[in-house]
Amino acid sequence: MKEELEHLSAEAERALAAAQDKEQLLRIRTQFLGRKGTLTLLIKQLGTLPEEEKPLYGQLINQLKNSLEHRIEQRLSALKEHEQQESLLKDTPDITLPGRRCAVGKTHPLTQVIREITDIFMKMGFQSAEGPEVELDFYNFEALNIPKDHPARDMHDTFYITDEVLLRTHTSPVQIRTMEKLKPPVSIISPGKAYRRDSDVSHTPMFHQIEGFMVGKGVSFSHLKGVLTVFAQQMFGEETATRFRPSFFPFTEPSAEVDIQCVMCRGKGCRVCGGSGWLEILGSGMVHPTVFKTVGYDPLQVSGFAFGMGIERIAMLKYGIDDIRLFFENDLRFLRQF
């Protein structure tokens, strides 16, 4: 058995020294360590030896087996690393090639306009507030002096969820919710989404508005004119002229539409302004006393003004866009211009 083990060890050494590739090493493993391998058959012969010799030869066989397994694995690992190095040398990347630029997104034009408007008003001391888009009828209409039988409700063409729950038709409910929580003086703007059943080149079922209001002692219509004139000049240019036309809104009295000098023709008259030289940009007015009573303010002690504008309309005028649907079609050729 001893001579057989020595012969087997020498044969394995010669085979390992001659092996040049993975296939040869795997054949050596099978030849010596496989189920029918030379070393495996030798292990089976241990049962024929005398009892006192079995431990000695069992230990020698295991040593040879473990040594062979270890050396074969080392050679296989070395061959694998060598193959990887050769592959890297063959496929060396050309570091002189120009890099691939990552596509960088643009801020949506509506987002840009919302940020710009918000920044203008916050510099004048206004704070920003938000409210729910799924709103109660009370906040959307009744608290704003629009009871259930009021004809102004027909102007809104509302998306109702139930008789008392709806998608807000304007951001004005934020005015009510804010005044319920805060005592005057209060100066708030509330940008957000609103919803109405309307869709054409200048209207969409979902659109963006900014509601703003200022309430305190001695707040007058002249303050309203001053704030909105500054806004128009900051938004459209220092030389932009404004005018205030009498109008009607249930939640303000008196009420006024605000026009700016046409940004296309500078007041000369064109197709965009219908030859008038003016373009409407927002609605405004002094907060109605009924609204103050609803939120617990004393209309004899405080006064205030409110205004609201459509973001899409402001953006269309600012950038000369003639179709509101472009804002929502996600056409990269359009969006990349901003």
Q: How many domains does the chain have?
A: 2
Q: Are residues 195 and 286 in the same domain?
A: yes
Read off the pLDDT of each residue in 170-190 and give the average, rounded to a whole number. 94
- Whether 15 and 59 share a structural domain: yes
Q: In what order do the strands lie in the sheet with 278-287?
A: 127-128, 186-195, 206-216, 303-310, 278-287, 252-261, 242-249
**pLDDT of 197 over the 90 cut:** no
**Which of residues 280 and 62 earns the better pLDDT score?**
280
Same-domain check for residues 276 and 187: yes
Neighbouring-strand partners of residue 128? 189
In a domain, 160, yes or no: no
Question: What average pLDDT score do residues 237-249 get?
Answer: 91
Provide the CATH number for the domain around residue 272: 3.30.930.10
In a domain, 116, yes or no: yes
Closest CA to 317 of 283, 286, 278: 278
The pLDDT, as a whole number, for residue 1 is: 60
Amino acid occupying residue 175: Q
Residues 262 and 189 in one domain: yes
Helix axes 22-33, 2-18, angle to 10 degrees: 170
Which residues sit opposite 134 in a β-bridge?
A: 167
Q: Is residue 304 part of a domain?
A: yes
Residues 38 and 119 in one domain: no
| Residue 282 placed within a domain | yes
Residue 32, pLDDT score: 74
Domain shared by 21 and 121, yes or no: no
* Mean local confidence (pLDDT), 53-59: 69
Tally of CA atoms within 13 A in the half-sphere of 308 that contains its CB: 21
Residue range of the domain that includes 247: 109-131+174-335
Average pLDDT, the chain: 86
Residue 241, SS3?
Answer: coil
243 torsion bin: left (phi>0), alpha (psi -120 to 50), beta (else): beta
8 Å CB contact between 131 and 174: yes
Is 140 domain-assigned? no
Q: Are 74 and 191 in the same domain?
A: no
